[in-house]
Structure 1
Amino acid sequence: MPVSDARANLADMELIAQAARQGGATAMSYFRKDPHRWTKDNDSPVSEADLAVDRQLAEILQAARPDYGWLSEETADDSSRLNSARSFVVDPIDGTRGFLSGSPEWTVAIAVVEAGRPVAAALYQPVTDHLYTAAPGHGATCNGAPLRISDRASLNGASAAGPKAITSRDRLRDMGIRPAGYVPSLALRLAILAAGRIDLAVVRENACDWDLAASDLLVQEAGGRLEDLRGRPLSYNRGSVRHPALLGGPKALVDPLRPILAELM
């Protein structure tokens, strides 16, 4: 990687980390205060807090990098981002259901994507004050402490987080894989994976760029893999923002589980 690119990645990482903290503070001003909420066309919830954080992040980030594209869950996509070398990929509140229920398991997720891959990531969990960051070749951290994917080498005894309908299947149980619960924020589920607190993460099909881009880089920089059930890495900021079913974890677990999971999903 050219030095200039590495410097740009680190500068972008610092920018989005600061923005994530600011967005988190705004979200906290609504948290557990019964914000106005409604349901979007896809039956997912949204609140006035989501939109307030989205506006704030757009103002901060687009002012700092006016030539970058913009892709956010809460902003209408005009596809102009496809003409930009770099784009912000944003989920102002990932885990809105958790946020609205008063759970601490929600995050502000921001990535910078170039040529289809994240080159800077920031994920902030305001309730716990955990800030996860990553840049290619510089590792992944949480509040400055390095993250490392699980070093488990056997599926027997491995923990897997994801939808209960999948992680509790008899075939996985018979292999010794144990369910690790469900985290409302998909981005946070993958950050926990990057931190080595769980061994595997399963993701249903149709997750979107903003759910995945920041944590994808966290997982990769922590030494893990996040890929589809054919073993392909994800590509972002394309025409379609949706992805197939995914599996994340260390190579030693992902490789043997992937074909099995492909039969079950």
Structure 2
Amino acid sequence: MTETGQTAQPPTDDHAFAAWAATLAGERLLAVRGEGLEGRELKDAGDAAAQALLAELLATHRPDDAVLSEEAADDRARLEAERVWIIDPLDGTREFSEPPRDDWAVHVALWSGGDLVAGAVAQPALGECFVTGQAIELAPRRSERVRIAVSRTRPPAFVEALAAEMDAELVPMGSAGVKMMSVVRDVADAYVHAGGQYEWDSAAPVAVARAAGLHTSRVDGSPLVYNQPDVSLPDLIVCRPELAADILAFVERHGTE
């Protein structure tokens, strides 16, 4: 975890650059949040402001790299590129539009050579940015009862069944990135999802989760693969390593319907 303010020159290291860009976008989003907008106007303003800033930073400081963003048209040239930044300028737009909620995030990840190589997840309302490239100490588990992060509005039925089998507690929260970082922070022990997502929803959080030593996979145990022609990546598991076998076994027996 790092705190990265604006500097005169951007970092040359890709890990530090991801954190720098995510943090600056988060600062911009906090400023937008303070402009007095509400509801849809606030959501749209946040999406647009963060996208514009990240697009400018990447075009200026990583001009030879491709970009895949939730808030921009998909440039298929990325499929032939050596380096692709996968970004979600505002993950958890609904929570962002409900001050003072803090469960929203900015995702900045770098894909190269067939896999994620750097990533940062900023949680601006907490003043934190989780980033690869340095030691990420997984917080010691304080809860005897397993905690599973779920959507605050639509927890999947199969996760409720999983929680019942494991005698686990469901912990509702917003942004997908926040749910994954909750496992790093020992706010939850697992995040299990099968309701539909895209590459930008998980790329940066998965990079950080891996760096922290967490288990990351599809719900069938297969690897999470990025920079694909179809950017849908509908399911995943991020959890403490000791829970992975039980969660995968449950999904194999019961599925996700």
User: What TM-score comes out, normalization by structure 2 length?
Assistant: 0.84
Q: Which position in structure 2 is the counterpart of 1:222?
A: 212
User: Given residue 11 of structure 1, which amino acid in structure 2 is its aligned partner?
Assistant: D
More displaced 10-residue stretch of structure 1: 202-211 or 102-111: 202-211
Residue ranges of structure 1 left out of the alignment (5+ in a row): 1-8, 39-44, 141-146
Q: Distance in 2 between matches of 1:186 and 1:81?
A: 24
Letter in 2 for 1:139: A
**Residues 1-265 of structure 1 mapped to structure 2, 5 A cutoff:** 11-31=13-33, 33-34=36-37, 37=40, 46-102=43-99, 103-135=101-133, 138-140=134-136, 147-148=137-138, 157-163=145-151, 164-166=155-157, 169-170=160-161, 172-181=163-172, 183-262=173-252, 263-265=254-256
SS in 2 for 1:169: helix
The offset of 1:21, in angstroms, is: 1.5
Gaps in structure 2 of 5+ consecutive residues: 1-10
Cα deviation, residue 54, structure 1: 0.5
Q: Counterparts of 1:14 and 1:207 in 2: how far apart (Å)?
A: 26
CA RMSD between the two structures: 2.5
How far does residue 149 in structure 1 lie from its aligned partner after superposition? Answer: 6.1
CA distance in 1, matches of 2:251, 2:140: 19
Aligned 8 A contact 2:104 2:123 in 1: yes
Query: Runs ≥4 in structure 1, deviation > 4 angstroms?
Result: 149-152
Q: Deviations over 1:43-75 (max 9, x none)?
A: xx9512211211111111121111111000001
Query: Which secondary structure state, in structure 1, belongs to the residue aligned with residue 125 of structure 2?
Result: coil
Equivalent pair of 2:159/2:192 in contact (CA under 8 Å) = no
The Cα of 1:86 is off from its aligned counterpart by 0.8
Identity %: 26
Count, aligned residues: 240
